[in-house]
Amino acid sequence: MAQSLTPSNIFKDQDRGRSVGKAGEDWKYKFFSYLLLTVIAFTMIVPFMWMLSTSIKPETEILRRNIFPVEPTLDNYHEVINRTDLPLWYKNSFIVAVISTVSVAFFDALAGFVFAKYEFPGKRPIFIIFLTSLMVPTEMLLIPWFIMSSNPPIGGTWVDTYWGIAFPGVITAAGIFLMRQFMQGVPDELLDAGRIDGVSEFGLFWRVAVPLSLPAIGALCIFNFLGNWNAFIWPLIATTRSEMFTLPVGIQQFSSEADTPWNLIMTGASLSVVPLLLVVMIFQRYIIEGIALTGLKG
């Protein structure tokens, strides 16, 4: 099964697995499928619509029962952008997600390349140790990480720094495993030919293996970016000052005031969700195939 699960053919063969019902009841089955799927699709969209519609409601309309705003306004957006730290949270989330995505793309690919294409003493035990670390839930490491961040080997403190938020995820075992699977497909003859031509070992990785594995690296990058953008529990622990919050932590903090500013929360949520939804729609085929391929969760 693993062999046939390459991104190109998972969804290409549209006819496989389609059960062929009796001709008479087939259209009934299809009709009900469409009906039910449409209802479910509707429940998938409504919360997003509600979020957007609340974000353009004036404050006076929040507690009224109208679903769409009577007098739509962008005041909430002005307020959130000018009067809260949300632009900073945006920047922080972006920087952290970029740092860890770039690092994951490079180091996971490099380690995957080594495990796929090199023989060296200790290869199996090292690989197995990397993989076993997947079984330890990150929740168990939060407290040690926090202690390590307050008293790190390099630098005064990692708390409230970009590195402090990003460090647990700059290399991932799941990504190394994925890259190893992919890099095994790089032909040995190509690497040996490169060696004879005097290409360095790093050159073989950078100019032969990486270009041939771009689809997998792309999928890895997208998952990683999404995962970091939405990460909550570690950024919550690793930050104490509002200027260093990431978006989810910041949105959670909106509520600490006495009554809940629903319009501002929905505006913050919209700002955090909408750009990502656009990215997902553009890359949807890629992402969906990647998930089916790896089961990697963001």
For position 190 contacting another protein by CB under 8 A, the verdict is no
Which of positions 224-263 make contact with another protein (CB under 8 A)? 226, 229-230, 232-233, 237, 247-249, 251-252, 255, 262
Q: DSSP state, 205?
A: I
For position 163 contacting another protein by CB under 8 A, the verdict is no
Q: SS3 letters for 220-284?
A: HHHHHHHHHHHCCHHHHHHCCCHHHCCHHHHHHHHHHCCCCCHHHHHHHHHHHHHHHHHHHHHCH
Both structure tokens of 45: 């969209």
Please identify, using beta-carbon distances, which residue of 176 and 178 lies nearer to another protein. Answer: 176
Which of positions 267-286 make contact with another protein (CB under 8 A)? 268-269, 272-273, 276-277, 280-281, 284-285
CB of 147 to another protein, least distance (A): 7
- Give the Cα separation of 230 and 169 in Å (integer): 13
For position 162 contacting another protein by CB under 8 A, the verdict is no
For position 199 contacting another protein by CB under 8 A, the verdict is no
Q: Kindly tell me which residue out of 88, 102, 142, 159 binds another protein, with binding defined by CB under 8 A.
A: 142
Q: Kindly tell me which residue out of 154, 196, 257, 258 binds another protein, with binding defined by CB under 8 A.
A: 196
Q: Are 229 and 89 in contact (CB under 8 A)?
A: no
What is the SS3 assignment for 100?
A: helix
- Give the Cα separation of 263 and 33 in Å (integer): 37
What is the chain's length? 298
Which of positions 77-136 make contact with another protein (CB under 8 A)? 107, 110-111, 113-114, 118-121, 123, 126, 129-130, 133, 135-136
Q: Are 101 and 220 in contact (CB under 8 A)?
A: no
Residues 9-38 as x/- pattern, contact with another protein by CB under 8 A: -xx-xxxxxxxxxx------xx--xx-xx-
